[in-house]
Amino acid sequence: WEAAEEAVGGVPLSVNMKDKENIQEPRFDYYNHEVPDIDLSECEFPHVIEIYDFPQEFRTEDLLRVFCSYQKKGFDIKWVDDTHALGVFSSPITARDALSIKHAMVKIRPLSQATRAAKAKARAYAEFLQPVKERPETSAALARRLVVSALGVRSRQSKTEREAELKKLQEARERKRLEAKQREDIWEGREQSVV
């Protein structure tokens, strides 16, 4: 019994039990955990995050499924090794938003906190880690016209289909022109015209 009263440093346990007021409070509140507001602008690639600690059996399709809500905004996967990959987003804001994803089999962190191998891969393949951009609307009209003229055959497309396609192209040009004008107006500080 006397040996049980001895504690570390020769201080009896009974003395420590009397001093209950000095119980140390926990440093972290694990119940109310929130993703810290990470300043991605300090990162070398603010639009890139590290995806890690997932099963080796995962394939690209599995990771794309985890980030399916970001695919329309622009998202791509670059592999580092069997359990690490880089997620490339269209902007730092989208990457910051993706850091809040909770998934049972995948962990996520900013590239600034990534493993040495992931950072090395990012630096080595910097030209391939440019922000993913949404593909512009396209039309098969030019390709069809080139093929038809090269083969010397007549197009099977009806007049109404051609007119609808031409109208769609004109609307796209007008939309592009308006977007450029709005960007210029914002840059110059002019009033926005209501369209």
What pLDDT score was predicted for residue 136? 63
What pLDDT score was predicted for residue 1? 44
pLDDT in tens, the chain (195 residues): 455 445 555 555 555 555 556 777 777 777 776 645 444 345 578 889 999 999 999 999 999 999 988 887 788 899 999 999 999 988 888 888 999 888 889 999 988 888 888 888 888 887 777 776 666 667 777 788 888 888 888 888 888 988 888 898 888 889 889 988 888 888 888 776 554
What pLDDT score was predicted for residue 135? 62
In the numeric block, which tokens belong to residue 193? Answer: 């015209």
Provide the β-strand partners of residue 87: 49, 77
What pLDDT score was predicted for residue 20? 57
Evaluated on CA atoms 56, 62, 68, 72, the torsion sign reads positive
What pLDDT score was predicted for residue 19? 54
What pLDDT score was predicted for residue 190? 77
What pLDDT score was predicted for residue 183? 82
Cα separation of 11 and 7, whole Å? 5
